[in-house]
């Protein structure tokens, strides 16, 4: 198969807590191995099954502040009392290699990415089919108190305001269908002519040479 040169983009995946963006993102990555994943830094404690360096870089608040002072982060936010940050170097290296990069970050961070990479970012917001489903999924995680769950649900209402500024909405009702939807979005965005200018120029030059040789 011919490799078509194109410009990589940043795929931002956001949702309220419990919306399922991380699960959708992981399954999409398993299907599309040619997309890079930006492992975020966080000060929160690991949840059961999460692996350091794979799901997150788990660091102390002191270490996060040190990294922040060293300008390590492309964007960072405080979410539910914990810090989260995106590695500037990881993103830069992947884009330089022509790869797309998946960022699993909150909505404010997503809009900061849009501000910095207006033409190279695609923002996808994930929601469950209803608020009742979101509350049920948060309780089923069995990791938070009712007080924390109430705070997350209240924050979800605020996140919807920012989510309206995203490019796509994926409804996470049936997981398999939600993953299909995200993969289709990626495939469609890769076909944008604006991301394939190099191929377009090369083809244009190639057809000119072909026609010129035919005339000879």
Provide the pLDDT confidence category of residue 116 given band limits of 50, 70 and 90. very high
Task: Please list, in sequence order, all residues whose beta carbon lies within 8 angstroms of the beta carbon of residue 69, skipping any fewer than 6 positions away.
Answer: none
pLDDT of amino acid 131: 93
On whether the CB atoms of residues 104 and 15 are closer than 8 A, the answer is: no
Per-residue pLDDT tens digits for 38-65: 999 999 999 888 999 999 999 999 999 9
On whether the CB atoms of residues 37 and 29 are closer than 8 A, the answer is: yes
Secondary structure class of 23 (helix, strand, coil):
helix
Domain boundaries, the chain: 10-38+99-215
- Helices (H), ranges, 142-174: 146-163
CATH number of 10-38+99-215: 3.40.50.300
Per-residue pLDDT tens digits for 165-192: 999 999 999 999 999 999 999 999 998 8
Per-residue pLDDT tens digits for 79-113: 888 999 999 999 999 998 889 999 999 999 999 99
Q: Which of 87, 159, 69, 88 is nearest to 123 (CA)?
A: 159
**Tokens of residue 92, six digits:** 């830069």
This prediction's pTM? 0.88
């Amino acid at each position: 198969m011919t490799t078509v040169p194109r410009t990589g983009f940043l795929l931002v995946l956001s949702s309220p807590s419990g919306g399922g963006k991380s699960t959708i993102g992981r399954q999409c990555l398993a299907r599309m191995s040619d997309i890079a994943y930006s492992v975020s830094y966080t000060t929160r404690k690991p949840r059961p099954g999460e692996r350091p360096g794979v799901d997150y870089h788990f660091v102390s608040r002191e270490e996060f502040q040190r990294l922040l002072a060293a300008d390590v982060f492309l964007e960072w936010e405080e979410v539910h009392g914990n810090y989260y940050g995106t590695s500037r170097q990881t993103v830069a290296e992947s884009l330089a290699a022509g790869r797309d990069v998946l960022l699993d970050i909150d909505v404010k961070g997503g809009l900061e990415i849009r501000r910095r990479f207006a033409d190279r970012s695609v923002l996808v917001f994930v929601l469950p089919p209803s608020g009742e489903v979101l509350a049920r999924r948060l309780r089923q995680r069995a990791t938070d108190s009712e007080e924390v769950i109430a705070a997350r649900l209240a924050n979800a209402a605020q996140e919807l305001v920012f989510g309206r500024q995203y490019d796509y909405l994926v409804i996470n009702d049936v997981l398999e269908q939600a993953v299909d939807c995200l993969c289709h979005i990626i495939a469609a965005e890769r076909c944008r002519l604006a991301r394939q200018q190099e191929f377009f120029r090369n083809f244009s030059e190639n057809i000119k040479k072909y026609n010129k040789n035919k005339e000879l």
